[in-house]
């Protein structure tokens, strides 16, 4: 999937649709993002300020252009993107029941792009169950 | 399950009991917490000072009442609880064998409540195996 | 597996070999590290500077010998190792297809030792699939 640069991209609906399409009713959806500079995150899906504040917090915690980083091949946001990914996750395992992901009412699944420029990202979904 | 506010609540025993009750001997226990302001954490189950120090570290890293946060609807600990959750995890996949969770001797599973006030938290357990 | 102290130890190949040996073609590899002071991390497998910078970042974020830690039984790196583990992960779920782990081209799986002295670490691998 394409991203337009740093930020949160909702993926709950496509994952839920795949679960429905599979015909499985009870099991686990395993999501794996094939990258080291973007994450998968479960976070609040209501107030968008939560995502704004998350972004700001991580920008302070892992500043772009920090002179102490040596891996800067692709620019000031290169190494910070790797650190943010290490601090979060690239795979998730979410149970589903009666054909629906067992997410809480406030939980959404997001692809969190850490690079400032647009990227093409690839997420693998493996469903197990019956 | 109810929490009495910020802190660690052991959940290893209830999870282990469910594995036993299921009659499955080999497989994976998938735990999913349906919230965005509390985490699931595997940490040392011996010296309680580890959990005291973890709590202190996270209170310094993500200070309550930080004026840079804008999502403060539910108080000074609202946004810090979301950040702490993003920095840790809400789902875990733990193998079991011979009916026992394959945890290390020092590993315990905890629900980590990040909100200061008591909350009711819901954890989904899905068992796969034979 | 033995570690020679703090640093990254690649485990992609042994995990891939177990998948191949199992004869399973499609499924999920669940990895669980039985410790609370070392992590499992998926990170870039190309430029080693990424791992050097990750190590440096975490050494600044969670300084060894921080006087605010009380759990110092095993030395200045004891509690920092627990915090680093809490900030990362001890279990991963990685899909595989056609007998190959569905990792991105730049993704490698690492055991990240957080203690400064050599340790013996135990990782459980559970394969599910067909």
Q: Which residues of C83-121 are buried (b: 16+ CB within 10 A; e: fewer)?
A: bbbbbbbbbbbbbbeebebbbbebbbbbbbbbbbeebeb
Q: What angle do CA A69, A73, A79 make, to 5 degrees?
A: 40
CA C31/CA C20 separation, integer angstroms:
15
Chains that touch B (3 or more CB pairs under 8 A): A, C
> Is the ipTM, as predicted for this complex, more than 0.90?
yes
Cα distances from B57 to residues A11, A58, A87, in angstroms, run: 32, 16, 15
| Rounded Cα–Cα distance for residues B64 and A17 (Å) | 38
Instruction: Kindly state the percentage of chain A with pLDDT values over 70.
Output: 100
Q: Please state the φ and ψ torsions of residue B61, each to the nearest 5 degrees.
A: -70, -40
What is the predicted pLDDT for the residue at A64?
98
Within a 10 A sphere around the Cβ of A99, how many other Cβ atoms?
A: 16
Rounded CA separation B86/A129 (Å): 27
pLDDT range class, residue B18, cuts 50, 70, 90? very high
Token readout for C49 is 């500077």
Mean pLDDT of A50-64: 98
| Confidence tier at A112 by pLDDT (50, 70, 90) | very high
Over range C5-26, report the average pLDDT.
98
pLDDT tens digits along B67-117: 999 999 899 999 999 999 999 999 999 999 999 999 999 999 999 999 999
Which strands make up the sheet holding A107-113, listed edge to edge? A7-10, A107-113, A38-44
Q: Which residue of chain B is at minimal alpha-carbon distance from C38?
A: B43
Q: CA C80 to CA B39: how far, in whole Å?
A: 19
State chain C's mean pLDDT as an integer.
Answer: 97
Q: For residue A120, give how far its alpha carbon lies from the nearest alpha carbon of chain C (Å).
A: 12
Give the mutation candidate from B29, B61, B98, B102 for the C interface (greatest C CB count, under 10 A): B102
CB A122 within 8 A of CB A35: yes
């Amino acid at each position: 999937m394409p991203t337009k640069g740093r930020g949160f991209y909702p993926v709950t609906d496509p994952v839920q649709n795949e679960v429905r399409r599979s015909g499985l009713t009870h099991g686990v959806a395993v999501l794996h993002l094939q990258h080291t500079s973007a994450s998968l995150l479960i976070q609040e899906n209501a107030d968008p300020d939560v995502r704004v504040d998350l972004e700001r917090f991580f920008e302070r915690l892992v500043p772009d252009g920090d002179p102490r980083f040596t891996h800067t091949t692709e620019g000031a946001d290169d190494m910070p993107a790797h650190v943010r990914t290490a601090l979060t996750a690239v795979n998730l395992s979410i149970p589903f029941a009666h054909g629906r992901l067992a997410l809480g009412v406030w939980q959404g699944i997001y692809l969190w792009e850490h690079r400032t420029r647009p990227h093409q990202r690839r997420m693998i979904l493996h469903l197990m169950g019956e």
